[in-house]
Amino acid sequence: MLLDTCFLIDLQYELGGRRRRGALDFLHRHPKAAAYISLVSWMEFAEGYEEEQEESCRLFLSPFPLIVPDAAIAWRASQISRRLRAAGIRIGDHDLWIAATAVERGLPLVSRNSRQFARVPALRVVSY
């Protein structure tokens, strides 16, 4: 499964004893599932950290294998963008890259932003 940025943020809050959104419960219900993150989610998540907190950010994200966009993911993103534009609907560029990564790698996307991602054909979205 590919973890969306909102999942990572919720997980961080929950591990810090703040705001329960269900991210920890989701991980406990899927203990053997491989959980990946996109380079784009890595970047979005890291925006919440100051420069002197870089090591803390890297440490938090280190358990999740990183998927770096390649030419196949870029092609998939271009095709998704073309289809959405032709249908008169759009999603943000970062969400487009995250969705393309999930579709190209055949992974469900774990997100609570299912309404936005539901616009993407062939994307399996799992809410938590």
pLDDT number for residue 66:
98
pLDDT tens per residue across span 45-83: 999 999 999 999 999 999 999 999 999 999 999 999 999
pLDDT number for residue 34:
97
CB 18 within 8 A of CB 29: no
pLDDT number for residue 19:
82
Class of domain 2-126: alpha beta
CB 75 within 8 A of CB 107: no
Tell me the whole-structure pTM to 2 decimals. 0.93
Q: Where are the domains of the chain?
A: 2-126
Rounded mean pLDDT of the chain?
A: 96
The span from the CA of 7 to the CA of 85, in Å, is: 27
Mean pLDDT, residues 15-30 taken together? 92
